[in-house]
Amino acid sequence: MKNPDPTSVTEDRNPVIPAAEKRALLGKYLAGRRLKGPSALSHVRRRSPGTTVPLSLAQRQVWLHSQFAHGSSIYNEPFTIHRRGPLDIAVLERTLEEIIRRHEAWRTTFPLVDGHPVQIVRDAVNFRLPVNDLRGLAPADRDREALRLGAADASKPFDLANGPLLRVRLVRLDDSEYRLYVTPHQLIFDGVSIYRVFLEELAILYEAFSANRPSPLPELTIQYGDFALWQHQSLEGETFREHIAYWKSVLGSDAPFLELQTDHPRPALQTFRGVLHRFLIPRPHVESLKQLCQSSGATLFMGLLASLYSLLYRYTGQEDILIGTVTAGRKLPELEKLMGLFINPVVLRATLSDTVTFRELLAQARDVTAGALSHDDVPFDYLVKECQPHRDPSRNPFFQTMISMQPVLPSVPGWDVTVYDVNNGGSKLDLHFIVDERPEGILGRLVYNPDLFDSGTIARLVAHWQTLIEVAPASPDSPVSRLPLLSEEERKKVVLEWNDTNSDYPRDACIHDLFEVQAARTPNQTALLAEGQRITYGELDRRANQLSRWLRKMGITREDLVGVCLERSPEMVIALLGILKAGAAYV
* pLDDT tens column, 112-153: 999 999 999 998 778 899 999 999 999 989 999 999 999 999
Is residue 403 within 8 Å of 435, Cβ to Cβ?
yes
Residue type for position 293? C
What contacts 298, CB < 8 A, 6 or more positions away? 22, 23, 362, 363, 365, 366
* pLDDT tens column, 504-526: 667 677 888 888 888 999 998 88
Q: Is a pLDDT exceeding 90 seen at residue 292?
A: yes
In the chain, domain spans: 19-482, 511-586
Mean pLDDT of all residues in 260-287: 94
Q: Picking from 18-22, 383-387, 527-531, which range would have the lowest pLDDT averaged per residue?
A: 18-22
Query: In angstroms, rounded to a whole number, what is the distance separating the alpha carbons of residues 547 and 568?
Result: 18
**Superfamily of 19-482 according to CATH:** Nonribosomal peptide synthetase, condensation domain (3.30.559.30)
Predicted pLDDT of residue 470: 97
Predicted pLDDT of residue 22: 47
Predicted pLDDT of residue 568: 84
Q: Is a pLDDT exceeding 70 seen at residue 27?
A: no
Query: In angstroms, rounded to a whole number, what is the distance separating the alpha carbons of residues 225 and 232?
Result: 11
Predicted pLDDT of residue 238: 80
* pLDDT tens column, 387-421: 876 788 899 999 999 999 988 777 788 899 888 77
Q: Picking from 130-139, 310-319, 471-480, 522-531, which range would have the lowest pLDDT averaged per residue?
A: 522-531
Query: In angstroms, rounded to a whole number, what is the distance separating the alpha carbons of residues 194 and 371?
Result: 26
For 68, 323, 383, 484, 553, the CA distances from 434, given in Å and listed in that order, are 24, 13, 23, 23, 61
**Residue 551: CA count within 13 A, CB half-sphere:** 28
* pLDDT tens column, 231-267: 988 776 788 889 999 999 999 888 899 999 999 999 9
Query: In angstroms, rounded to a whole number, what is the distance separating the alpha carbons of residues 251 and 483?
Result: 29
* pLDDT tens column, 326-362: 999 898 899 999 999 999 999 999 999 999 999 999 9
Q: Is a pLDDT exceeding 60 seen at residue 94?
A: yes
Q: What band does 155 get if pLDDT is binned at 50, 70 and 90?
A: very high
Query: In angstroms, rounded to a whole number, what is the distance separating the alpha carbons of residues 439 and 82?
Result: 16
Predicted pLDDT of residue 408: 79
Mean pLDDT of all residues in 467-482: 97
Nearest in space to 164 (alpha carbons), one of 187, 180, 192: 187
Predicted pLDDT of residue 36: 39
Predicted pLDDT of residue 447: 96
pTM more than 0.85? no
Alpha helices (H) along 235-393: 238-251, 283-295, 300-316, 358-374, 380-387
Q: What band does 567 get if pLDDT is binned at 50, 70 and 90?
A: confident
Predicted pLDDT of residue 528: 87
Predicted pLDDT of residue 16: 40
Q: Is a pLDDT exceeding 90 seen at residue 184?
A: yes
Burial of residue 488 (number of CB atoms within 10 Å: 0-12, 13-18, 19+): exposed
Is residue 44 within 8 Å of 226, Cβ to Cβ?
yes
Mean pLDDT of all residues in 151-156: 94
Is residue 366 within 8 Å of 296, Cβ to Cβ?
yes
Q: What band does 39 get if pLDDT is binned at 50, 70 and 90?
A: very low
Q: Is a pLDDT exceeding 70 seen at residue 29?
A: no
Predicted pLDDT of residue 413: 86
Residue type for position 564? V
Q: What band does 41 get if pLDDT is binned at 50, 70 and 90?
A: very low
Q: What band does 465 get if pLDDT is binned at 50, 70 and 90?
A: very high
Q: What band does 13 get if pLDDT is binned at 50, 70 and 90?
A: very low
Give the rounded percent of residues in the chain with a pLDDT score beyond 70.
90
Give the rounded percent of residues in the chain with a pLDDT score beyond 90.
66
Q: Is a pLDDT exceeding 70 seen at residue 363?
A: yes
Query: In angstroms, rounded to a whole number, what is the distance separating the alpha carbons of residues 240 and 152?
Result: 42
Mean pLDDT of all residues in 412-431: 87
Q: Characterize the bridge pairing of strands 116-121 and 112-113.
A: antiparallel
Handedness of CA 334, 221, 184, 280 (dihedral sign): positive
Of the two residues 132 and 528, the one the predictor is more confident about is: 132
Is residue 112 within 8 Å of 161, Cβ to Cβ?
yes
Average pLDDT, the chain: 88
Ramachandran area for residue 121 (φ above 0: left; ψ -120 to 50: alpha; else beta): beta
Indicate the class that CATH gives domain 511-586: alpha beta
Backbone angles phi, psi at 528, to 5 degrees: -145, 130
Of the two residues 513 and 9, the one the predictor is more confident about is: 513
Query: In angstroms, rounded to a whole number, what is the distance separating the alpha carbons of residues 329 and 196?
Result: 13
